[in-house]
Chain A
Amino acid sequence: MARLLCVKFRNNLRNLIRLPPSKDFNSCKTEMRYGYTIERMARLREERVGMADMHASISSLFSSITADGGRPRRALKTLPVFSNLSVKRLIELLFGVSASGYSSQKQSIQASVGIRFSSQNDIESTVKQGTVISSDIRFKYPEFLPHPYMKWRNSIREKLERSDMLKRRSNIVIPEFYVGSILAVTSSNVHAVTRTTKFVGICIRRQGSGLNSSFLLRNVVDNQGVEILYELYDPKIQKIDVLRLEKRLDNDLMYLRDAEPQYSTFPFDMEPEYLSKEEEVPINPIKVKLKPRPWRKRYELDDYKGIEPFDHLLSWRVIRRKPRALKHKRPVQYDLMWHYRNTIPEEEQREIYTEVCSELQKQEIRGQKIKRKSEFVSPEKAT
């Protein structure tokens, strides 16, 4: 009976995800173990290039790589980072096939929309009716990209959220900042005597998307570490000032919690440091020193660039189990499906940013004007 049920389930599964008959049940099972759901696979299949095609192409790619000179590792190393590539582009890159097809399609897109998109190597981008989409816009305004989880996607909600975000941005200047920048946030607080509070701190994390996006500020006040989470589009926020615009070596600075306090101490009366608009945002190469264990995370298992070497702080037992733990870590850097599921495809990113970029630029110019106004000092009378 159990076996019969199993067969029935297998057939149903096949029908659901419409796999070719050659695809066997075991491979489906492995896929499910790694978090594919049946609905999602079906949806993926409907929406994009067929999943089966993808699988076939990827497996043939790997066989071709291994066949080519018998040096699979070396060939794999030459693969680019996939995070902002679309599936079509990925296949094109991997095989060299359909390159002409893709480029012709690209041209047709360009012709229809009237915009030329920058290619991978271009740093600056191009102009369409006075609007510029620069290639770093997705790092500048990461919250405009929706969460890549398929079940949470809803195009109408995303569109409404985007318009709401722009409306909020027309009322308050939300400046460009990154993880590692030092911010001062003035917000209204019903609990305070003066009804407003100001907090200064280093941004150690940016998370969320859309109206949900938030950032976490950290500071050490009177030798006491304090963190406050702010929502970026919270109406309580009155003003966001960037005191020092810079990036760090990592995109997540949560390790400052386990680092010495001097690395996250910033005075509340800090003067803002102005950076001219042409200058690139500098990367601060500082490496922090960790306090002795216990830590909040197993930092030895991830490669953080912003931490000083800390092997002397680990016990011999941790050092002994490190290679074993690394062996069981899931290698995502070559997992195409992982990248596909955890990033927004390039085409969608373009669509979103073409929708909002003109409005954002207008607001940027307006923000500069406000800044210049506030900087203006009336000349003194000559005697």
Chain B
Amino acid sequence: MISKIFVRNFYTSNSLSEIRKLARLRVVDNSPLGKQAMAEGKPPKVIHVYNKQSVGTTGDMVLLAIKGEKKKGILVGVVKDQKPNIPRFDSNNVVLIEHNGTPVGTRIHVPIPHLLRTILKEKTHAKGADYTKLLSIATKFL
């Protein structure tokens, strides 16, 4: 109780807004699972980031815990500071995908960065997962 009182509201600088394990994300597609989780106020939690730095950025794949399920997702917008000409978003956005890279939803409601086109094309292998399907359900690129 005492520790709660003292720890709460104590901060001196901005947080780094890094996407690590246990970070909460915002699902931006119209998949029923994601929509329901966001509506209930239980946004998905990152339980693994599939890269070597273990800090996720635009285009990285993450494993999520969402409504008691394990689901993969692709980061389509991040809060942390970006290099010039790359958009920075006000929330950490994620799109849910199946294991073969097919998105669960049929529409992405927010703009996604152009950079994602290059990154996802590079990640796609001929016989492996095809991530470029995500690009075709996007409504707007920035």
Interface residues, chain A, CB within 8 Å of chain B? 187, 189-193, 197, 199, 214, 221-231, 234, 236, 257, 296-297, 315, 317-318
> Is the pair B111, A224 in contact by a Cβ cutoff of 8 Å?
yes
Question: Total contacts A to B, CB within 8 angstroms?
Answer: 72
> What sequence of 0s and 1s flags, for each residue 64-100 of chain B, a beta carbon within 8 Å of any chain A beta carbon?
0000000000000100001111111111010000000
Q: Can you sample 20 A-B contacts with CB below 8 Å?
A: A192-B117, A192-B141, A197-B141, A221-B110, A221-B140, A222-B140, A224-B90, A224-B91, A224-B111, A226-B87, A226-B88, A227-B89, A228-B86, A228-B87, A229-B82, A230-B84, A231-B84, A234-B84, A315-B9, A317-B9
Q: How far is the CB of A217 from chain B (nearest CB, A)?
A: 10
- Bound-state Cα–Cα, A104 to B87, Å: 54
- Bound-state Cα–Cα, A187 to B82, Å: 17
Q: Assess A296 versus B14: contact at CB under 8 Å? Given A221-B142, A222-B109, A226-B142.
A: yes
A236 to chain B: closest residue by CB: B85
Q: Assess A228 versus B85: contact at CB under 8 Å? Given A191-B115, A222-B140, A317-B9.
A: yes
- Bound-state Cα–Cα, A257 to B113, Å: 19
B119 to chain A: closest residue by CB: A191
User: Chain B contacts of A191 at CB under 8 A?
Assistant: 113-118
- Bound-state Cα–Cα, A182 to B113, Å: 21
State which residues 31-88 of B face A: CB under 8 Å: 77, 82-88
B139 at interface by CB-CB < 8 Å: yes
- Bound-state Cα–Cα, A214 to B82, Å: 13
Tell me whether chain B's interface is mostly helix, strand or loop, or mixed: loop
The 7 A-B pairs at the shortest CB distance, nearest first, are namely A225-B90, A191-B114, A224-B110, A192-B114, A227-B88, A191-B118, A229-B84
User: Chain A contacts of B93 at CB under 8 A?
Assistant: 224
Interface residues, chain B, CB within 8 Å of chain A? 9, 14, 77, 82-91, 93, 109-111, 113-118, 139-142
A224 to chain B: closest residue by CB: B110
User: Chain A contacts of B117 at CB under 8 A?
Assistant: 191-193
- Bound-state Cα–Cα, A224 to B140, Å: 12
User: Chain B contacts of A187 at CB under 8 A?
Assistant: 85
- Bound-state Cα–Cα, A230 to B9, Å: 34
Q: How far is the CB of B88 from chain A (nearest CB, A)?
A: 5
- Bound-state Cα–Cα, A317 to B11, Å: 13
User: Chain B contacts of A230 at CB under 8 A?
Assistant: 84-85
- Bound-state Cα–Cα, A317 to B117, Å: 47
B139 to chain A: closest residue by CB: A222
> Is the pair B114, A197 in contact by a Cβ cutoff of 8 Å?
yes
Q: Assess A257 versus B90: contact at CB under 8 Å? Given A222-B139, A317-B9.
A: yes
- Bound-state Cα–Cα, A192 to B111, Å: 13
User: Chain B contacts of A192 at CB under 8 A?
Assistant: 114, 117, 141
- Bound-state Cα–Cα, A228 to B81, Å: 10
Q: How far is the CB of B26 from chain A (nearest CB, A)?
A: 10
Q: How far is the CB of A112 from chain B (nearest CB, A)?
A: 42
Q: How far is the CB of B72 from chain A (nearest CB, A)?
A: 22
User: Chain A contacts of B90 at CB under 8 A?
Assistant: 224-227, 257
Q: Assess A189 versus B9: contact at CB under 8 Å? Given A222-B110, A222-B111, A297-B14.
A: no
User: Chain A contacts of B83 at CB under 8 A?
Assistant: 229
